[in-house]
Structure 1
Amino acid sequence: MATVLLVRHGRTTANATGLLAGRTAGVSLDRLGRDQARLTGGRIAGVPVVGVVSSPLQRCTETARAIVDRQRAAPPSSVDPDLTECDYGQWQGRRLSDLATEELWPMVQSQPSAVVFPGGESLAGMQARSVAAIRRHDAAVEAEHGPGAVWVAVSHGDIIKSILADALGMHLDLFQRLEAGPASVSIVSYGASRPRVWATNTDSGELSWLAKAVHSGDAAVGGGAGNSDGDSRTPRIIT
């Protein structure tokens, strides 16, 4: 099975000021966000990724470029509109502190599967398109490069949380229990029988072990031996 690294974009000027940027054009990484993206690129540098697919929004393409730039051989990169941010409709561009007073806010928190943003899309529709895109790209990567291939998808917080919820077999109503911080890396392998979630929301530790990981379609009864190559100094991923 192939493995996808789900990377959220680094922090933006909107994130820093508490605005819901949504699909607003021209929202770029701030100084900290650029540093975060470079750090993530360094974490992934030891993994020869076969491709990078990004949301078309600027903050994601900037993060994707930081990842591509750290690869020894630049992998092909592309954008996919199905990985773009949720269409928050009339909520877009507003302060989160103001949105928290809206009648819809409690439903976003506790029953997101029923949420349709005014003038925008539903969270269920957002999950359906993003999960379908990830699975489509993953199948194409495995068909071309084999089951050990690793690729990167750069997207947004709610998108990544919804993809992880699907991989974990969680109802969308539970996806707010997950986190996807700026420039974080989550790791999922899709197999014939089930997805396997290796890590979620990591922001430290190099990932070169992925280049040597043995991917089986079966779960290891008892938990298995992990990914260590025998060196106790190998950084571990905390999920």
Structure 2
Amino acid sequence: MALTLARLERDRTDIPRYASNMTLIYLLRHCESSANKEGILAGRIGNIALSKLGLKQAHQIAGALAQESFSKIYISPLQRCAESIEPFLMKSRKRAIKEPLFLEMDYGKWSGRKLSELRREKHWKSIQSEPSRFTFPSGESFVAAERRIKRGLNKVARSNPKGKVLVVSHGDPIKIAVQLALKGDLDSFQRIVIDPGSVTIIDWPTGTLIGANIPAKSLGSRTKKQDGGLSKRMLSNRRVLGGGTNVSTRI
């Protein structure tokens, strides 16, 4: 499932157009942060800024979304999400609504630690294969996160019937949103790839997936050469906890 979700089957020159009777939700994963670059599981740590690459992605997103008319823009309250959408807000003169339902998962005592270190934890394999059974020490369970994300999607859809909205969030919440849209099993959501600075589009509450993991530069265009350049190790890193925090989207 991850390979088909991570790639559009044909090249596109713009964001996919789709006539919807429900609510089109554009899910933007925040651009590359300093934690992403350093391979750290940031969780809900608030004072994490974008990296140099992330700032570049944010400006590219502002240009790519310039022609999009969103009825509302919702963002996770964390700094890296605000910085990711700031250039677009300035350009479009729009305001964003902070929505805690789209916060990153609460990784509890795992927050702020290196992924290379966390891979040695005894629960690592079960988190990847059976996340529905796991609760982070002093943190959130994947089941609770799934309920939270579903509430967020429903809230957005109720407030914007037949509208088009932008939600700026994080890797795991967006992966969970895709899994919910496809009516999949929570234990398989870790197979979905969502890179920093990418856009995923769903129709809610029908659960139609319009496009997934569309890179910041093109927001819809991904060449065969780019797709063919993924090694097994790179793909594995991008599937990990946190949405893949130690691999940057090339732009």
- What TM-score results when the alignment is normalised by the length of structure 1? 0.79
Question: Which whole-Å CA distance do the structure 2 matches of 1:10 and 1:205 have between them?
Answer: 14
In the alignment, is the contact (CA less than 8 A) between 2:198 and 2:219 conserved in 1?
A: no
Residue 23 of structure 2 is matched in structure 1 by 2
2:77 is the counterpart of 1:56: yes
- What is the CA distance between 1:75 and its match in structure 2? 3.0
- What is the CA distance between 1:99 and its match in structure 2? 0.3
Matched letter for residue 101 of structure 1:
R
1:9-30 alpha-carbon deviations (Å, 9 max, x no partner): 0011111111111111210101
1:76-106 alpha-carbon deviations (Å, 9 max, x no partner): 3110111111110110111000100001100
Residue 121 of structure 1 is matched in structure 2 by 140
- What is the CA distance between 1:121 and its match in structure 2? 0.7
Residue 164 of structure 1 is matched in structure 2 by 178
2:18 is the counterpart of 1:17: no
2:135 is the counterpart of 1:89: no
Question: Which whole-Å CA distance do the structure 1 matches of 2:143 and 2:204 have between them?
Answer: 21
Question: Which whole-Å CA distance do the structure 1 matches of 2:64 and 2:182 have between them?
Answer: 24
Matched letter for residue 218 of structure 2:
G
1:98-144 alpha-carbon deviations (Å, 9 max, x no partner): 100001100111001111001101011111101211221122011xx
Question: Which whole-Å CA distance do the structure 2 matches of 1:46 and 1:135 have between them?
Answer: 26
In the alignment, is the contact (CA less than 8 A) between 1:50 and 1:76 conserved in 2?
A: no
1:69-218 alignment runs, 5 A limit: 69-71=90-92, 74-142=93-161, 147=162, 149-191=163-205, 194-203=206-215, 204-205=217-218
Question: Which whole-Å CA distance do the structure 1 matches of 2:152 and 2:202 have between them?
Answer: 14
1:44-89 alpha-carbon deviations (Å, 9 max, x no partner): 1111111110000000011122232332xx3331101111111101
Structure 2: unaligned runs, 5 residues or longer: 1-21, 221-251
Matched letter for residue 33 of structure 1:
G
Structure 1: unaligned runs, 5 residues or longer: 208-239
Question: Runs ≥4 in structure 1, deviation > 6 angstroms?
Answer: none
Matched position secondary structure for 1:85: coil
- What is the CA distance between 1:206 and its match in structure 2? 5.1
Identical-pair percentage: 34
Matched position secondary structure for 2:35: helix
Q: How many residues align?
A: 198
- What is the CA distance between 1:40 and its match in structure 2? 1.6
Question: Which whole-Å CA distance do the structure 1 matches of 2:57 and 2:84 have between them?
Answer: 9
Over the residues paired in the alignment, what is the CA RMSD in angstroms? 1.3
Of the two, which has the highest radius of gyration?
Answer: 1
In the alignment, is the contact (CA less than 8 A) between 1:49 and 1:75 conserved in 2?
A: no
Residue 35 of structure 1 is matched in structure 2 by 56
**Which structure's relative contact order is higher, taking Cα pairs within 8 Å and 6+ residues apart?**
2
